[in-house]
Amino acid sequence: MTRAMNRSIPFWILLAASVALVVSGALVVLDHLGTMTTTLKNGSATGLEVYAGQSWIVIGAALLGAGVLGVLLALALLVVSGLVAPAALERVETGPAITEAPEEDGESEAPVSEDAPSQEVSSADATNDQSAQNGSSGSTATATKISVR
């Protein structure tokens, strides 16, 4: 058994309940079948033993069948977990792991010259750009060349 199945409480509950159903179903079937057989052979069988005995045998057979089905299901789970567990434990390496963070010296990698235009836009420049965009019609559609009807 795999370690996962050794620790799985639902698996053990399924197995124990299935075995209990098999045992109880077999006891019910064998008890009532034995009683019915002996009374019919003796000639002392009553309606209760014959007709009620048949119903009890059907109930016992249903319990026995459910227990056998549960045991088979537990065995199937055991086999599937044995096949799936080794595949889940394999580790797949996707790429090299980053071990160190880059050092921060406070200096940027590329020096910025003072002659280069600045990329920062102040809020005053943003308002001037918006008012300049409001051409003759004052709409955004005119500035982006979208047809509005």
Question: How deeply is 142 buried, as exposed, middle or buried, from its count of CB atoms within 10 A (0-12, 13-18, 19+)?
Answer: middle
Predicted local confidence at residue 72, as pLDDT: 96
Predicted local confidence at residue 91, as pLDDT: 61
Averaged over 103-126, what is the pLDDT? 56
Predicted local confidence at residue 36, as pLDDT: 92
Predicted local confidence at residue 118, as pLDDT: 54
Domain boundaries, the chain: 3-16+33-86
Predicted local confidence at residue 93, as pLDDT: 65
CA distance 12 to 64: 19
Question: How deeply is 1 buried, as exposed, middle or buried, from its count of CB atoms within 10 A (0-12, 13-18, 19+)?
Answer: exposed
Please say if the pLDDT value at position 123 is more than 90: no
The pLDDT tens digits of the residues spanning 27-58 come to 999 999 999 999 999 989 888 888 999 999 99
**pTM of structure:** 0.54
CB contact at 8 A, 5 and 77: yes
Predicted local confidence at residue 124, as pLDDT: 55
Pick the residue with more confidence: 58 or 145? 58
Band (pLDDT 50/70/90 cuts) for residue 133 is low
